[in-house]
Chains A and B, each alone.
Chain A
Amino acid sequence: MTTFEALQKRVIRRPQQRHIPVLATLALLCVMYGAGVVRYTGFSDTQIVLNVFIDNGFLLVVGVGMTFVILTGGIDLSVGAVVALTTMIFASLVRAGWSPLAVLPVVLLTGALIGLAMGCIIHFFDIQPFIATLAGMFLARGLCYVISTEAIRIDNALWTSLADYKIRFGGFHISWSVVISLVAVLIAAYVLAYTRLGRNIYAIGGNQQSAMLMGLPVGRTKIAVYTISGLCSALGGVLLTFYTSSGYGLHALGMELDAIAAVVIGGTVLTGGSGFLFGTVLGVLVLGLIQTIITFEGTLSSWWTKIVIGALLFAFIVLQRAVARRTT
């Protein structure tokens, strides 16, 4: 929790309008956590929070890629399908006798290439991101079924030991996927905040026309964000294989919605140009915590998750509107 407090302090020192959505998410998260601790015995265990990370590591990575795309004002519907394709290629190559470490670059490259192709179609032919990534979604899911219509188990000693490995500290444990996803978040946050690419992404999302007139490389940046999203989805797929130990064409069905919801709840504006990666982390945590609470409640059915997520989306979008109105 120390990082939270540190970040909170930094934010409080410079209270700005653009931070309000992220702060609202943080407040919501605290309220939800507090309510959970008060209501359920055993909820205060720190391991519960760590479990949220363990169960949602892949969503976090996918959400990072989605944040990049949404910051430019685009959208990527293909992420769930690319995740599924990654698990499928991974499982089938491992079954064919490849070493998982050799498969890793192959799947990451495949994801990035799919993203690159979509980015090129979007930029060079002016196809709407919605339609181009929809085609990418069909393509990736289609490729899954070409590989196999059945689920493929990943039976590899090295991979199983990596997946089951628990990094222990002070009575708690996390998995490798948590470490990998947090590293991905840190790298991405650095890129967005401190590099030229990050500045360009915000500029394009703010106003593409102005960005172009300023001489920023609009095309290259747009292609780059879709490539990054593809890469992140592939990494998310790899993390999902840790979690499920299998490849299947129906994995991650509808994950694009979860990723978009996490980004929006995290305070990123869907028209682009405003938002923080830290918000996406909070958004994923909110989604994860909802699921944890519903599990703890026991009597609530799983569909309440969707209804609550919808209600939260509504609340955050209205909040964003209110904030945007006050600034302009």
Chain B
Amino acid sequence: MTATITKHRLFWPAAILVVLLVTNVFFSGSFFKVEFRDGHLYGSIIDILRASAPLGLVALGMTLVIATGGIDLSVGAVVAIAGAIACLRISKLDDQNAVTGVLLAVGLALLLSLALGVWNGFLVATIGIQPIIATLILMVAGRGLAQLITDGQIITINSSPYKMIGAGYWLGLPLCVIIAVGVAVVAGLVVRRSALGLLLESVGGNAEASRLAGIKSRWLILIVYVFAGLCAGIAGLMISSNVSSADGNNAGLLIELDAILAVVIGGTSLAGGRFSIAGTILGAVIIKTLDITIYTVGIPPEVTLLFKAVVVVVLCLAQAPKFREKFQRRRPSTPAAPQAPQKVEVTA
């Protein structure tokens, strides 16, 4: 029984999340306390969820891209561009609180992020460029585009409808969490309740073989990049709305790396052909919990990155089949029984 639980591929990430949460309780007794104040929920857990929403969305799009054996480095740039264009449109409105104007700006930003996703998908699927390079182009140029949109300035706006996206509440819950969970649930249902997920995995396993088997792998690849672009666009709106400003240079900086990390922590193979949406969401929550743990434990902010590096290495090694193999092989050899059956040591 214990063997089946520990063998579940989400066991180790979940265990790490629990360890992180329990660590927090030791340092801050009221960590799990969630209050209902001013018509919405307050508490550290809610903070973690709110912080995880944009990263979770970006990582969600990234998961499907990675499932097809690709990678999308441009999400950070798309985050910056979406925030920049929305804030620019809103700052030009006569009445920044006009709902229709804000909705139009949001729609434009999402349309633009879709277009950027199409561009990435076109490069990968149609021209056949290696994904890491194809998206590198937009990663480099996109930052420049975002700065071009904001004219190198930080655009500050004062719009309460726009503020709702990132900092608002609905039914007592943060709206950004609801949006992120909603997108994740829809994506999860679409890929897992239809054959789409299977097809994506087969493309990731071997694009050429699945094409020969009659799967339109080009379309699938195009779609995942468009979806990743859309997710990054929504995340960009959340991030810029949370601070009511757009910074072309720093918004979503390095979010692509955090997103890839979340995907890897969640047990999705970077080689493609296998993915877990639940794992990715768990991974994003772990990364943000890690950030908050660092604050509550009182680790000086200087050491944050160091701590993160250690966690990344430990997590990746724990999931690497080759590392487990070496680690497990050493155990039976100590009682001088080199031919001990493999099943015995797995339980421990």
Contact = CB atoms under 8 A, between A and B. Distances in A.
A and B together in one complex: yes
Interface of A: 75, 77, 121, 124-128, 130-132, 134-139, 141-143, 145-146, 149, 257, 260-261, 264, 270-271, 301-307, 309-311, 313-314, 317-318, 321
A298 to B, nearest CB: 15
Contact of A138 (B132, B134, B140, B305): B305
Nearest to A270: B133
Interface string B248-266: 1000000001001100100
Nearest to A322: B127
Given A301-B148, A311-B141, 19 more contacts: A121-B317, A124-B322, A125-B323, A130-B71, A130-B260, A131-B312, A136-B309, A137-B257, A139-B310, A142-B309, A264-B133, A303-B145, A305-B144, A309-B144, A310-B140, A310-B142, A313-B136, A318-B129, A321-B128
A130 B135 CA distance: 14
B138 A301 contact: no
Contact of A306 (B143, B260, B312, B316): B143
Interface in B161-214: none
Nearest to B313: A135
A309 B141 contact: yes
Interface in B50-75: 71
B107 interface: no
B130 interface: yes
A37 to B, nearest CB: 26
Q: How many B residues touch the partner, as a band? A: 35 or more
Interface of B: 71, 123, 127-130, 132-134, 136-145, 147-148, 151-152, 248, 257, 260-261, 264, 270-271, 301-310, 312-313, 316-317, 320-323, 326
A146 B316 contact: no
Contacts of B132: 75, 130, 270
A125 B322 contact: yes
A165 to B, nearest CB: 34
A306 B317 contact: no
B309 A135 contact: yes
A142 B307 contact: yes
Contact of B144 (A128, A131, A141, A304): A304
A303 B148 contact: yes
Contacts of A302: 152
B136 A260 contact: yes
13 contacts: A131-B260, A131-B270, A131-B316, A134-B312, A142-B307, A149-B302, A261-B136, A261-B140, A264-B133, A301-B151, A303-B148, A307-B144, A313-B136
Give the interface centre of B151, B301, B313 by most chain A CB atoms within 10 Å.
B313
A7 to B, nearest CB: 26
Nearest to B314: A135
Contact of B306 (A77, A134, A146, A270): A146
Given A127-B320, A303-B148, A138 B141 contact: no
A310 B148 contact: no
B317 A127 contact: yes
A46 B132 CA distance: 37
Contacts of A307: 141, 144-145, 148
B215 to A, nearest CB: 23
Contacts of B301: 145
Contacts of B141: 306-307, 309-311, 313-314
B133 A317 contact: yes
Contact of B316 (A135, A141, A143, A264): A135
Contacts of B260: 130-131, 134
Contacts of A309: 140-141, 144
A143 B306 CA distance: 6
A305 to B, nearest CB: 7
Nearest to A139: B309
Contacts of A260: 136
Nearest to A75: B132
A130 B271 CA distance: 11
B313 A121 contact: yes
Contacts of B128: 321
Contacts of A125: 316-317, 320, 322-323, 326
A306 B307 CA distance: 32
A318 B127 contact: yes
Contacts of B309: 135-136, 138-139, 142
